[in-house]
Structure 1
C-alpha cells in the first residue's frame, strides 16, 4: 500500500490531526479524523440508508470530519479519480 498525503486540518493542534490520503494502489480515500460521540453514533444507527439494516456493522465506524478538511477531501477525490485512470 502506498498512501499519497493530501492534507491535514489547517487548525490542527498537537493532539488532533484530521488528515486525508489517497491509496494510490486502489484509489481509495483514507481519512483519519475524530471518533464520533455516542449521540452521533446513535443517530447514525437510527437513520439508516434505504434498503439497509438498521445499525452500524461491526466492521464499520462513524467518524466526524471537520468542515475545514473539505478542501482536502475535494483534492483527495480528484486524486482518487486520477489514480483510477
Structure 2
C-alpha cells in the first residue's frame, strides 16, 4: 500500500497525531484522529439516517479531527480527485 502523506495536526505533541493521507490506488482518504469520548460515540450511534440501521458497524469507527486540519482534508480531496496533484 502506497499512502500519500498530506499532513499532521500542527499542534501535535507526544502521543497526539491526527493525520491525513490519500490512498490513490483505492481512491480513499485515510484519516487518523482522536477516539471519541463515550458521550460522542453514543450520540453518533443513536443518529438515524433513512435507509440505514442505527449504530456504528463493527468495521467502522468514529474519529475526531481538529478544525485546524480542514485545509489538509481539502488538499487530500484535491489529491484524490486529481492524482497529478501532490
TM (norm. structure 1) is: 0.92
Partner of 1:34: 34
The reply on whether 1:6 has 2:35 as its aligned counterpart is no
1:21 partner SS: strand
Partner of 1:60: 60
Looking at structure 2, the residues matched to 20 and 49 of structure 1 have their Cα atoms a distance apart, in angstroms, of 26
The reply on whether 1:48 has 2:28 as its aligned counterpart is no
What is the CA-CA distance between 1:50 and the residue it aligns to?
1.8
Q: CA RMSD in A?
A: 1.3
TM (norm. structure 2) is: 0.91
Aligned residues: 84
Point out where structure 2 has 5 or more consecutive residues left out of the alignment. Answer: none
RCO (CA 8 Å, sep 6+): is it higher in 1 or 2?
A: 1
Point out where structure 1 has 5 or more consecutive residues left out of the alignment. Answer: none
Deviating 4+ runs (over 3 angstroms): none
